Amino acid sequence: MVERAAKGAWVEIHGVVLPAGERAPQVPDDTQRLPLEMRVKGFLVAAAAVGDTAEIVTVAGRRLHGVLAAVNPAYDHGFGAPLAELLTIGQEVRALLREKGGVR
Amino acid sequence: MSDEQSYQAVMARRPEIMRQSIGLNYEQYATGALAFDYERLLGDTGYDIDRVREVQARTAVGNTPLVALENITALLRGLAAPGKGARIYLKDEAQNPSGSFKDRRASLSVHEARKRGYAGVAAATSGNYGAAVASQAAKAGLCCIIVQEAFDGRGVVQPEIAEKTRACEAYGAEVIRLSVGPELFYLYLRVLEETGYFNASLYTPYSILGIETLGAELAAQVKALTGCFPDAVVTTHAGGGNVTGTARGLVKAGAVESEMIAASVDLTGLHMASDHDFNRKSFTTGHTGFSMPFTTWPDRADVPRNAARALRYMDRFVTVTQGEVFYLTQVLAELEGLERGPAGNTSLAAAFAIAQTMEEDQIVVVQESEYTGAGKHPLAQLNLARKMGVEVRRGDPRDNLPGRRIVLPEHPAQVAVSDIDLDRVRRSYLRNAVAALREGARLEPVDLAFLAAETRMTQSYVEEVLDEMRGTQG
């Protein structure tokens, strides 16, 4: 089911700033083959479904159009799992300090 | 898209958009074909260092603690030859309001924007600077827009930048997130034109003058603690502002003998505009992808004349590997109880190696730290690196290969710096300078003197290199 958002909802819209193939000349090939994409968040001006063209008002007061991409998008960046490569560093350097006369 | 908004049309309007958004006529400072009056450009802002301190104090920016890294000093002394091993101090810039020294850079720009009646401020930055501008704008009651390069063509967001998006939004800023590419600047110009906001560029005189207090503070703090100025100051080096502002501040505090060492993470082989490489860098700043091009030609910045001119101020330029920086980040947390970085710990990794070659009674200052948190952490970066197919392992850091392999040292004695040959950097600068000459323009004596100041060499050195270059071309 397509997610719908009410007027005033906090959403993110997506748009293409420059299509693939129309990128700046200095851009390397791998980037040249891709569009320059943009994502901006704001308050939805009128009810819409994800995938619809929608209008938002940003916190700076700008009115922007784009494809409704996400409703109340989460901050889901984090740390991830602990890594064995980092877990033992502390023990190792503390052991070295003990050999040399201890942590001050 | 209307014709007026096309890439070419907007880029052609760049000089006018810059004039409106910074309110500074850079042309008045030109003194020759290449030369311009750098000191007058900075001086005309009307901010001396006491005035900068006053502005920064209003928003609790600066006056950060200088922390003696006693356990790390003991560790490196255990590795150094007898009598060697300088004492390391860290200027804990993470304690600024938005968590980095970038508050110093943002403070004057936002103060100036407000004074001159701009409705808002904008900045093109994916780093700590965005949060700093947003924080300062919040306090000043100005609107703020930050434009970031945030995700690759598959929609994978660089976690450190995701955290910066969150921070900017927490301070009430609008964040425009873009996929990979230098055309970010084109969109940024459109935003400046549309909004009429102040361009809080990292490279205006305000941004550089804001950092002078950092150099002056650390000089005074070391002097008060030890009776001497620091023997060396190690600065994480990217666009050049950190090196420039800190060195100028040191001199203003009287620390004219302190060696200024610029340190960058070596990202050789990775292309800064490549979508493929974007999420394989593991560092968003402090790396050679910025520091090499900006040292060898500062005027590639988003302003006509970059006020950050690192080659004028550095005594030494070194690189460290990605794995070494992550390693020292973990050591800092576990030996000193300071969870900071990771990118800001580039200078710490370099200082750790350099201190071992210095005398025991000498002092080296790691000139900044930055806040850490979700996304902005070795775990987030190394987990992403693995997901992108980059090998992560312990071993000899000399086997580190950017984009392919991150090697964390097995032993602290493996941490080392690589020196960049400054003569080659200077020659590269001079090549770029000549290439920037307008067709038919000739270098006058004023330009030769300017190039000598830019490269921190004599005029005869400049003439000799230029002659050699002509010989090669002929």
With CB atoms and an 8 Å threshold, state whether A77 touches B144: no
d(C-alpha A20, C-alpha A32), whole Å: 6
pLDDT band at B330 (very low <50, low <70, confident <90, very high): very high
Model confidence pLDDT, tens digit, residues B112-160: 999 999 999 999 999 999 999 999 999 999 999 999 999 999 999 999 9
Considering only CB atoms, which chain B residues are within 8 Å of A101?
Answer: 74
pLDDT at B470: 86
With CB atoms and an 8 Å threshold, state whether A40 touches B174: yes
Domains of chain A: 4-73 (2.30.30)
With CB atoms and an 8 Å threshold, state whether A86 touches B382: yes
DSSP A72-94: S--------S--HHHHTHHHHHH
Q: Are B275 and B246 in contact (CB under 8 A)?
A: no
pLDDT at B440: 87
Closest Cα partner for B347 from B101, B79, B49?
A: B101
Can you name the CATH fold of B50-98+206-419? Rossmann fold (3.40.50)
As a whole number of Å, the end-to-end CA separation of chain B is 46
Model confidence pLDDT, tens digit, residues B205-261: 999 999 999 999 999 999 999 999 999 999 999 999 999 999 999 999 999 999 999
Considering only CB atoms, which chain A residues are within 8 Å of B157?
Answer: 77
Percent of the residues in chain B that have a pLDDT greater than 90, as a whole number = 95
pLDDT value at B86 more than 60: yes
pLDDT value at B399 more than 70: yes
With CB atoms and an 8 Å threshold, state whether A100 touches B333: no
> Which strand (E) or helix (H) includes residue A41?
strand A36-44
Ramachandran category for residue B155: left, alpha or beta (phi over 0 → left; psi -120 to 50 → alpha): left
| Residues 6 or more apart whose Cβ sits within 8 Å of residue B415 | B320, B324, B327, B328, B349, B352, B353, B397, B409
Asked if B378 is an interface residue toward chain A (Cβ–Cβ < 8 A), one would say yes
DSSP B96-156: STTSSTHHHHHHHHHHHHHHTT-SEEEEE-SSHHHHHHHHHHHHHT-EEEEEEEEE-TT-P
Asked if B395 is an interface residue toward chain A (Cβ–Cβ < 8 A), one would say no
Q: A42 CA to chain B: closest CA distance, Å?
A: 8
Asked if B166 is an interface residue toward chain A (Cβ–Cβ < 8 A), one would say yes
pLDDT band at A2 (very low <50, low <70, confident <90, very high): confident
Closest residue on chain A to B273 (Cα):
A27
Pairs from B136-141 (Cβ < 8 Å, separation ≥ 24):
B136/B59, B136/B98, B136/B103, B136/B106, B136/B107, B136/B109, B136/B110, B136/B111, B137/B110, B137/B171, B137/B172, B137/B173, B138/B171, B138/B172, B138/B173, B139/B59, B139/B110, B140/B110, B140/B111, B140/B113, B140/B114, B141/B114
Q: Any idea where the domains of chain B sit in the sequence?
A: 50-98+206-419, 422-473
DSSP state of B84: B
Asked if B169 is an interface residue toward chain A (Cβ–Cβ < 8 A), one would say yes
Q: What phi, psi does B198 have (nearest 5°)?
A: -75, 135
With CB atoms and an 8 Å threshold, state whether A90 touches B374: no
Considering only CB atoms, which chain A residues are within 8 Å of B394?
Answer: 85
Of the listed ranges A45-59, A88-102, B97-111, B263-277, the least confidently predicted one is A88-102
Q: Which of B120, B175, B374 sits opposite A77 (nearest CB)?
A: B374
d(C-alpha B297, C-alpha B270), whole Å: 19
pLDDT band at B1 (very low <50, low <70, confident <90, very high): low
Q: B195 CA to chain A: closest CA distance, Å?
A: 8
Q: Where are the alpha helices (DSSP H) in B196-345?
A: 205-226, 241-252, 275-278, 288-296, 322-336
d(C-alpha B325, C-alpha B283), whole Å: 10
Asked if this assembly's ipTM is beyond 0.85, the reply is yes
pLDDT value at A104 more than 50: no
Six-digit token string for B244: 């420039």
pLDDT at A1: 75
Model confidence pLDDT, tens digit, residues A16-40: 999 999 999 999 999 999 999 999 9
Model confidence pLDDT, tens digit, residues B37-81: 999 999 999 999 999 999 999 999 999 999 999 999 999 999 999
pTM for the complete prediction?
0.97
Considering only CB atoms, which chain A residues are within 8 Å of B375?
Answer: 77-79
Q: What phi, psi does B256 have (nearest 5°)?
A: -80, -15
Q: Where are the alpha helices (DSSP H) in B227-355?
A: 241-252, 275-278, 288-296, 322-336, 346-355
Neighbours of B339 (CB within 10 A): 16
Closest Cα partner for B447 from B26, B42, B30, B25?
A: B30
Closest residue on chain A to B408 (Cα):
A85
C-alpha distances out from residue A81 to B166, B379, B380, B392, Å: 21, 7, 8, 14
pLDDT value at B418 more than 60: yes
Q: Which of A30, A37, A85 sits opposite B408 (nearest CB)?
A: A85
**Most B CBs within 10 Å: which of A13, A29, A36, as the mutation test of the B interface?**
A36
Asked if B153 is an interface residue toward chain A (Cβ–Cβ < 8 A), one would say yes
**CA atoms lying within 13 Å on the CB side of residue A82:** 6
Model confidence pLDDT, tens digit, residues A45-72: 999 999 999 999 999 999 999 999 999 9
pLDDT value at B3 more than 90: no
| Residues 6 or more apart whose Cβ sits within 8 Å of residue B194 | A62
Model confidence pLDDT, tens digit, residues B336-355: 999 998 988 999 999 999 99
pLDDT band at B439 (very low <50, low <70, confident <90, very high): confident
Identify any residues that bridge with B365 across adjacent strands, giving them in sequence order. B89, B233
With CB atoms and an 8 Å threshold, state whether A100 touches B78: yes
The Cα diameter of chain B in Å comes to 70
| Residues 6 or more apart whose Cβ sits within 8 Å of residue B256 | B250
pLDDT value at A101 more than 70: no
Asked if B76 is an interface residue toward chain A (Cβ–Cβ < 8 A), one would say no
Residues in B 199-238 with any Cβ partner in A closer than 8 A: none
> Would you give the distance in Å from CA B415 to the centre of its chain?
22
Identify any residues that bridge with B263 across adjacent strands, giving them in sequence order. B236, B318
C-alpha distances out from residue A96 to B87, B264, B359, B421, Å: 18, 27, 21, 34
Q: What sign has the CA pseudo-torsion B69, B75, B78, B81?
A: negative
